[in-house]
Copies of this chain bind each other. A is one copy, B any other.
Amino acid sequence: MPPPEAVVDLLGALAYGELSAFDHLADDAGLAPTLAGRAQMSAMAAIEFGHYARIAERLEKLGTPAEVAMAPFVAALESYHALTEPSTWLESVVKAYVGDGMAADFYREVAAFVDPDTGALMREVLEDTGRAEFAVREVEAAIAAAPEIAGRLALWARRLVGEAISQTQHVLADRDSLTTLLVEGAGDLTGIAALITRITDRHAERMVALGLAS
């Protein structure tokens, strides 16, 4: 079992991930071309907040207020969001699916390395909830209407992945507890390589679903 501080760190990072996702999805909803699209992205934001609340509750039970557990991860997540601020509705849709999807895959992998209760909570709050269908529908319709945007969106998705990896590296360099959790959980470097391959594969599947080159 990983030491308690690693679990608190992990839940703190995930909690702030959810709270900042709420914040940015709520913001990005303002880019929607229709009230229906705005309501759908607002719904995703509200779901993220519900997830945040579940994790905050668990952190309280573990004896650490959520704001204390989240504090070390605020800078990295806000950097990610500042560097990937969508300037169009489609960019926000791709970010909500590709960026958040990749983060969820990463946390789902790490969920296997913690105690069963924490792992179950993590898998529960990482559930997709219809985001895939929504993103695929919006992007497909947009590409059908203007095929030339596919190239730009593919570049955008690559940028999301690049910034996500870069901020994850910052966090791991900064938090020994999480690096240890990851390395011990994966077993060895081969295990880590396999984990990264699985995440990359799932990312490629999402890009295919969107009709974008990865």
A-side residues, CB < 8 A to B, are 19, 22-23, 26-27, 29-30, 34-36, 38-39, 42-43, 45-46, 49-50, 52-53, 56, 65-67, 70-71, 74
Contact = CB atoms under 8 A, between A and B. Distances in A.
B36 A43 contact: no
B43 A53 contact: yes
Contacts of A23: 26, 29-30, 42
Contact of A45 (B26, B43, B65): B26
Given A36-B65, A65-B36, A49 B56 contact: no
A48 to B, nearest CB: 9
A3 to B, nearest CB: 24
A90 B22 CA distance: 22
Instruction: Classify the interface of chain A: helix, strand, loop or mixed.
Output: helix
Contacts of A38: 19
Nearest to A69: B35
Given A22-B26, A29-B23, A34-B67, A56 B39 contact: yes
Contact of A49 (B19, B27, B34, B45): B45
A42 B36 contact: no
Nearest to A53: B43
A143 to B, nearest CB: 24
